[in-house]
Amino acid sequence: MAVIGIGSTKLSLLTLFRGIFGISKPFKTTTTIMIAVTAAWTVSFFFSNLFTCYPVTALVESFYGNKCLDSVAMWYASCITDVIIDFIILVMPLPPVYKLQLPLKQRLAVAGMFVVGTAYVSFPPGCFFPPPACLQRR
């Protein structure tokens, strides 16, 4: 369920950026592409997390003869792609902000607010603090 929350947050940020900076056609195209990529990321990792083990109940009831995927590799794939998407979302509002007709100091302040706000909302702490299973040696 965390994937849905993270994906929804990214989609809401992209929708906000599209509403604020949606005047230029290249920015609209970029946000449309990023919305599609983020939605695909959310759906794919939701279902990959859901069907990590077969049968699905094996996640809950350990006495089944379960066949599970490597959850550590899936966690790494999820986090790496998540950070890449977050970095793109973080950088997206910077070109339109620098095109504003404001003094340089104010443009830097506005860009800083977007970067800090986006970084605060986007980057999930789960990618920087691995689950205990990732820290154990095999």
Q: How confident is the model at residue 44 (pLDDT cuts 50, 70, 90)?
A: very high
How far is residue 11's CA from residue 130's CA, in Å, rounded to a whole number? 24
How far is residue 32's CA from residue 76's CA, in Å, rounded to a whole number? 26
The model carries a pTM of 0.77
Domain that holds residue 26: 2-135
How many structural domains are present in the chain?
A: 1
Q: How confident is the model at residue 117 (pLDDT cuts 50, 70, 90)?
A: confident
Please indicate whether residue 29 or residue 65 has the higher confidence score (pLDDT).
29
Contact 100, 107 (CB under 8 A): yes
